[in-house]
Amino acid sequence: MSFPLAWTHRFADLGPDFHTELQPTPLPDPHWVGQSHAVARDLGLGDAWMQSIEALQAFTGNAMLPGMRPLASVYSGHQFGHWAGQLGDGRAILLGELPGPSGPLEVQLKGAGLTPYSRMGDGRAVLRSSIREFLCSEAMHALGIPTSRALCVTGSPGKVRREEIETAAVVTRVAPSFIRFGHFEHFSHSGQHAQLRTLADFVIDHFYPACREAPGNPYAALLEAVSARTAEMVAQWQAVGFCHGVMNTDNMSILGLTIDYGPFQFLDAFIPSHICNHSDTGGRYAYNRQPNIAYWNLFALGQALLPLMDEQQQALYALEPYKALMPAALQRRMNDKLGLTRVEDGDADLTEALMKLLAADAVDFSIFWRRLSHAVSGDLEPVRDLFLQREAFDAWATRWQERLQSQPGFDAAATQAQMLRTNPRVVLRNHLGEVAIQRAKQGDFSEVARLQNALEHPFEEVAGQEDLADFPPAWASQIEISCSS
């Protein structure tokens, strides 16, 4: 069943300084694990074709489709605060771009075999982490958070050695570009400044054209624009309780997308210093440090762009707005969660007081917001039940209700509806992923599909999905997610 696809290759056309062209390494006996019909539609891939052997083979890396031009890109980066030197796509292979609804979309296989940048790795990805990346990409998108997407996951009985022997899988990821801060660091730190400029021009021309028209240095304008997008992204992470887990500069998208899902976690209990990555012993990427780490990473990007600027001050000025933008974006998001339409004096205090209460009683983050949404025109009791310090909560709730009702034209039903569209009922908690993964390891992918379906509609109250919206079981806190993937 052939399918005429119009592959284009803007990144490939940058030339061999930026990547190595190579073929993926086949995996034995592939099978489908999951697919996103929404992403398939965006790429113009019909449902029937997505069921074909040809698609299964192509998205496992076993056979290339006409027009694909597979490559692995080179980048460097700072890992856990230290310069790590050259990294690169050690197991990701870009196939090319297909036209999407608002411009070309890159299609990339993750786990499709060795590349010149694999270093000590095997070029593979295991089933469990591939399912997590697939589900989380689609979950984040449905939450309205900028992210790479996932078209599909295929599995294979091919063995992969991690702490134990596991089986291989391939995720097909989709984004307008997978260029990272680390790509810029690579060409800057290795003194390849002509290539650095080529890359920056590429990103400006295709993704940030306004930077060319902006007064002053276009590369400083790019840094400022990337900072603004990153601020918005991180504010959204904080507001939904998302911990990325490995915010190394090579995992930071130049488009401000959430990328490289590894040991991520959605908070269960609200513990601000929560560390989701078992390998992050120092807590560098703890939930409450993410906004500052994003700034640190932007600073590293700024440093990498210095050879393109006239003076160091331009980079510092470009980074400055982040310090106000991030908290402002976060306050806007928190106000949305609280049902408050405009940010006013005192809202920061009201939010901070709430966060202290949530932290003091380690209240379940998502359940709190969902119950609070229902309480606008209903009963506060289910929210109150979540707290040990009930009087303290009552005092806060009185402040919140007064603030709600002080809004001109306040309408409880409309506010409740808005909050229910803002505070998700279902997020990809670790234990939900874990249940789906355990079933998948037995060859049953129905729970992956059920969870995917719920995550695609995270704000809807769907019957039969109550278990996905419930408190985590006791064993959830024992799950250890590390960098091993």
Min separation Cβ 482 and ligand AMP, Å: 11
Q: Check: CB of residue 241 under 8 Å from CB of residue 211.
A: no
Out of 62, 73, 147, 251, the only residue in the binding site for Mg ion (CB under 5 A) is: 251
Does 86 help bind ligand AMP (rule: CB under 6 A)?
Answer: no
Does 115 help bind Mg ion (rule: CB under 5 A)?
Answer: no
Min separation Cβ 288 and ligand AMP, Å: 21
Does 137 help bind Mg ion (rule: CB under 5 A)?
Answer: no
> How many residues belong to the site for ligand AMP (CB under 6 A)?
16
Does 73 help bind Mg ion (rule: CB under 5 A)?
Answer: no
Does 245 help bind ligand AMP (rule: CB under 6 A)?
Answer: no
Question: How far is C-alpha 336 from the geometric centre of its chain's CA atoms?
Answer: 21
Does 90 help bind ligand AMP (rule: CB under 6 A)?
Answer: yes
Angle at the Cα of 306 (from 85 to 219), degrees rounded to 5? 115
Q: Check: CB of residue 144 under 8 Å from CB of residue 458.
A: no
Q: Residues with Cβ < 8 Å from 429, sequence gap 6 or more?
A: 265, 266, 268, 366, 472, 476
Out of 76, 172, 251, 452, the only residue in the binding site for ligand AMP (CB under 6 A) is: 251
Q: Nearest to residue 481, comparing CAs of 338, 280, 309, 301?
A: 280
Q: Nearest to residue 454, comparing CAs of 354, 366, 371, 335?
A: 366
Q: Residues with Cβ < 8 Å from 356, sequence gap 6 or more?
A: none
CB closer to Mg ion, 92 vs 203? 92
Q: Nearest to residue 267, comparing CAs of 231, 309, 237, 232?
A: 237
Q: Check: CB of residue 428 under 8 Å from CB of residue 142.
A: no
Q: Burial-class residue 206 by CB neighbours within 10 Å (0-12, 13-18, 19+).
A: middle
CA separation for the pair 136, 132 (Å, rounded): 6
Does 262 help bind ligand AMP (rule: CB under 6 A)?
Answer: yes
Does 293 help bind ligand AMP (rule: CB under 6 A)?
Answer: no
Q: Which of residues 270-299 bind Mg ion (CB under 5 A)?
A: none
Does 118 help bind ligand AMP (rule: CB under 6 A)?
Answer: yes
CB closer to Mg ion, 296 vs 471? 296
Which of 89, 250, 260, 361 is the catalytic position?
Answer: 250
CA separation for the pair 257, 249 (Å, rounded): 13
Does 263 help bind ligand AMP (rule: CB under 6 A)?
Answer: no
Q: Is 385 a catalytic residue?
A: no
> How many residues belong to the site for Mg ion (CB under 5 A)?
2
Out of 42, 89, 138, 166, the only residue in the binding site for ligand AMP (CB under 6 A) is: 89
Does 133 help bind Mg ion (rule: CB under 5 A)?
Answer: no
Out of 97, 133, 185, 260, the only residue in the binding site for Mg ion (CB under 5 A) is: 260
- Catalytic residues, which ones? 250
| Contact footprint for ligand AMP (CB under 6 A) | 87-91, 117-118, 121-124, 246, 248, 251, 260, 262
